[in-house]
Amino acid sequence: MRATVEVDETLLRNARAVTGARDDAEAVELALRSVVRGRHIDRLLGRLGKTDLNLSLEDLARLRSDA
């Protein structure tokens, strides 16, 4: 998809340098993927510890041995 956006030149140059992107389009795509991935991780971390598993020690041992 093509889109026209105005991006700070210094920011784009720095993004290319730290990502190793070959061109501006690749740098922008890598940055967008990083933002999306980061938000997914934040959501998953937000759910951590909020699920009640109701496992007994025997259940836990059985699950460990099945893995």
**pLDDT, tens only, 24-46:** 999 999 999 999 999 999 888 88
Among the listed residues 22, 34, 25, 33, the one whose alpha carbon sits nearest the alpha carbon of residue 2:
25
**What range defines the domain where residue 41 resides?**
9-66
Q: What gap in Å lies between CA 19 and CA 16, rounded to an integer? A: 5
Name residue, tokens 């990502």: 19
Is 3 within the bounds of a domain?
no
Is 55 within the bounds of a domain?
yes
Is 37 within the bounds of a domain?
yes
pLDDT at residue 48, as a whole number: 78
Query: Percent of the chain, pLDDT > 70?
Result: 93
Indicate the pLDDT class of residue 51, thresholds 50, 70 and 90. Answer: low
Average of pLDDT values for 51-55? 74
Mapping DSSP onto H, E and C, the string for the chain reads CCCCCCCCHHHHHHHHHHHCCCCHHHHHHHHHHHHHHHHHHHHHHHHCCCCCCCCCHHHHHHHHHHC
What's the total number of domains in the chain?
1
Q: Model-level pTM?
A: 0.65
